[in-house]
């Protein structure tokens, strides 16, 4: 069994796999609604147009995983990106992998601060949602339309995520 250690989620560390969706000092923002609200603009690059795709907005409810979390498969969406924005402030795990000749390569694990979202780039290997300690609801923006947009690949060995403390 392989042991993987999760690092804190950051824009720089996650950039090979997509974007971190968060409000920070570099986010473009401006006042709207007569100055009663602030819009944080264009935080992720939604990519869903391949093969006449269209954007879908869904809510996923992830059940908590027992620790240490064990991984047995990875998935990817070859026709579009997939964005997850949590509706609660509970930390959750993100596991992504480099592509190695059409299968998952080196695994990378991240733990969010609870309010951070992610947008997996088109074709990026990732593990399905990994809620910790409590169920979590997520707004998900991904691709609908014709074509097969899901590939799953079982891992050759069970991977365990180090306890998160």
136 band by pLDDT with thresholds 50, 70 and 90:
very high
Mean pLDDT of the chain: 94
Q: Say how many domains are in the chain.
A: 1
Residue 111's CATH number: 2.60.120.480
pTM of the model: 0.92
**For every residue of 46-111, which 3-state class applies, written as one string?**
CCCCHHHCEEEEEEEEECEECCCCEEEEEEECCCCCEEEEECCCCCEEEEEEEEECCEEEEEEEEE
Instruction: Using the predicted structure, report yes or no on whether residue 164 has a pLDDT greater than 90.
Output: no
Angstrom distance (rounded) from CA 82 to CA 121: 7
Q: What is the mean pLDDT of residues 87-113?
A: 96
Domain that holds residue 152: 2-161
Instruction: Using the predicted structure, report yes or no on whether residue 165 has a pLDDT greater than 70.
Output: no
Q: What is the mean pLDDT of residues 61-82?
A: 95
């Amino acid at each position: 069994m392989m042991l993987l250690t999760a690092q804190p989620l950051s824009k720089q560390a996650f950039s090979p796999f997509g974007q971190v969706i968060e409000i920070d000092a570099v986010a473009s923002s401006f006042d709207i609604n007569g100055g009663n609200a602030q819009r944080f603009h264009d935080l992720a690059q939604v990519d869903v147009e391949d093969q006449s795709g269209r954007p879908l907005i869904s809510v996923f409810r992830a059940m908590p995983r027992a620790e240490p979390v064990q991984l047995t498969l990875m998935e990817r969406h070859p026709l579009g990106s997939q964005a997850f924005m949590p509706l609660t402030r509970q930390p959750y795990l993100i596991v992504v992998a480099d592509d190695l000749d059409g299968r998952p390569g080196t695994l990378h694990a991240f733990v969010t601060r609870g309010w951070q979202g992610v947008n997996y780039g088109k074709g990026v290997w990732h593990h399905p949602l990994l809620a910790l300690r409590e169920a979590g609801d997520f707004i998900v923006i991904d691709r609908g339309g014709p074509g097969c947009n899901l590939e799953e690949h079982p891992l050759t060995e069970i991977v365990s995520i180090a306890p998160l403390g």
